[in-house]
Structure 1
Amino acid sequence: MRIQYVLQEIGHGLRRNLTMVIAVIVSTAVALTMLGAGLLMLEQTKAMQGYWYGKVEVAVYMCNTNDVGHATNCTSVITAAESAAIYTKLHGTPYVENIIPESQAQAYQHYEQAYGSTALGQTATEQDMEQNFRVKLSDPSKFQVVQDSVGNMVGVASVVDEQQLLQPLFTFIHIAEYSAAGVAAVMLVLAFLLIFNTVRLSAFSRRRETGIMRLVGASNFYIQMPFLLEGAVAGLLGGALASGVLIAIKAFFIDGIVAPHLSSIQFIGWRPFVFIVPLLLVVGIMMSVAASVFTLRKYLRV
């Protein structure tokens, strides 16, 4: 009978405050969606860093005719002896895992593949290209080791860390993460206040019943249980709605629209959802129950 009574009271409470309950569910869903989006962005950043840092190389460009008189170490076009000396020095440099020489002809071929149909591709010649070494590091963050090793050698025009080219992208993603976390925090506070107000209204509308229950000796826990479960149901539905939104965005927008057109980006799979979805459900329930407990303790003291 007690369980049946509690379930009946939950149903009555949800129907009496339907508008406020819907507002709680929606606000909780928005807050948890932003929280989930922030966590997914964090996973995406890790995936992209792991993917791109595995492909990052250091490029050691050597002097061509255009560099003579302009680059510090370029008094003449690179010679075979100077190139061999640079290669030998790179080979003995710590963290260097692999060295791939690229001639002017090969560099020009790659340039044409990238820019052949543009104005830049039509004006450049093979002599404009720089012979270079593509250096693969065991630790991509150790660019400075290569710079210190060969940066001042005769025949070296420049040493370029390709990791720095990707840094603006990762900076943007980190900003998006923090923005999502900030919005999520604000929305969680608003959802908490909505739950607080909803439970207070529900308790006020049933003050006669709760008063009678206190007179006949019902415990505070038994009186509070319907209100707590109402909040838990609203929080659970908000978490479920947020999870559904994130799953839909992943399935239809990311995988269906974005990923086919951005094959160069390594997008996260479904593995992060295994822990993010349960986390959102738990946070939704716990936040709602906490707000309900706080409200009811204050109410029962009156």
Structure 2
Amino acid sequence: MRIGLILSEALSGLRRNASMVISVVLVTFVSLTFVGSAMLMQMQIGTMRDYWVDRAQVSVSMCTALSQAATCTGGLATDEQVAEVQAKLDGEALAPLIRSVQFETQQEAYDNALALLPDDYASFLTPEQFNESFYINLVDQTQSDVIIEAFQGMTGVEEVNDQLQYLEPLFSALTVATYIAIGIAVLMLVAAVLLIATTIRLSAYARRREIGIMRLVGASNRFIQTPFILEGVFAAFIGSVLASGAVLAIVHFGVNDYLRARIDFVTTWVRVEDAWLVIPVIIGIGIVLAALSAGFAIRRWLRA
């Protein structure tokens, strides 16, 4: 099989169907950009989840003099009740689940709150309004239910909270956004596949006399099909390269230069190195889909 002749035929087909090829390139570019964006979003969700799961705490808040919970009928938690909670945390049943425990007094909670709030709050806030609290880091955050069950309902304990529950809506929203991006990407990929198939059929129809002559001189179906498949692959490859550049630009300019400077509470973002991991997948998807679509289209046309 003469490679030079096949390549020249493929390039000739690209020139003849320039407008359709440009359409294929653009649709492939847009669809694969969505694919890459969805992959980066999923990587971002995983990175954020790992970061926060490792740092999320279970808080055991003791009663204050103002607490209205059923477990706080005695008012402010006594030293004995605080000691009971501490002893339970140190006990053989829970100790293997716990990585570290930090105890915060009412005064410390008050000081920490004032450090975050405007100065005028100091005029009406008092330490007595804040809970003494145990902040528990777990070895495995998925075991937080065990801690909650152990302390919920204890006399002197106002409430037990898993901080990770406040982040779940964020993770859920990001996951939905990922699914939306994937859905759009799938629709665009279907459009790209159909465009590639149409382009190949038009190219084959325009060269039907040449194909007939090649058949008469004994050219194999593989020899006839290969230039058409390469046309689709070339167009999809260009679109894939453009999509790869868009993914790199999204991470470099959108994430590194824009989001990092404006969203302080997220400290772990996807990096350019992560984008480079996505690029081979994007290019691979583009080439494989183009080759399959073009191959199927030209085989059907040759059988017709």
Short-chain TM bin: over 0.9
1:71/1:205 CA distance change after superposition, 3 Å: same
Alignment of 1:147-226 (within 5 A): 147-226=148-227
1:56/1:122 CA distance change after superposition, 3 Å: farther
Q: Helix, strand or coil for the counterpart of 2:70?
A: coil
Deviation at 1:184, TM superposition (A): 1.1
Partner of residue 238, structure 2: 237
Partner of residue 71, structure 1: 69
Alignment of 1:30-49 (within 5 A): 30-49=30-49
Partner of residue 104, structure 1: 106
Q: 2:291 aligned with 1:289, yes or no?
A: yes
1:195/1:53 CA distance change after superposition, 3 Å: same
5+ residue gaps, structure 1, are: none
Q: Percent identity?
A: 37
Q: Deviations over 1:104-125 (max 9, x none)?
A: 11101111122235x7665432
Partner of residue 89, structure 2: 90
Contact 2:114 2:121 (8 Å CA) reproduced? no
Q: Quote the Cα distance in structure 2 between the aligned partners of 1:106 and 1:112.
A: 10
The aligned length equals 299
Q: Quote the Cα distance in structure 2 between the aligned partners of 1:250 and 1:269.
A: 7
- The one-letter code of the counterpart of 1:39 is M
Alignment of 1:266-277 (within 5 A): 266-277=268-279
Q: Quote the Cα distance in structure 2 between the aligned partners of 1:121 and 1:138.
A: 37
Bigger CA drift: 33-42 or 239-248? 33-42
5+ residue gaps, structure 2, are: none
Partner of residue 24, structure 1: 24
Q: Quote the Cα distance in structure 1 between the aligned partners of 2:211 and 2:65.
A: 91
Alignment of 1:255-266 (within 5 A): 255-265=256-266, 266=268
- Pairwise CA RMSD: 1.5
Contact 1:60 1:134 (8 Å CA) reproduced? yes
Q: Helix, strand or coil for the counterpart of 1:97?
A: strand
Deviation at 1:7, TM superposition (A): 2.1
Q: Deviations over 1:40-92 (max 9, x none)?
A: 1111111001111111001111111110xx20110221111111111111222
Partner of residue 141, structure 1: 142
Q: Helix, strand or coil for the counterpart of 1:154?
A: coil
Q: Quote the Cα distance in structure 2 between the aligned partners of 1:51 and 1:110.
A: 23
TM-score by length of 1: 0.95
Partner of residue 125, structure 2: 124
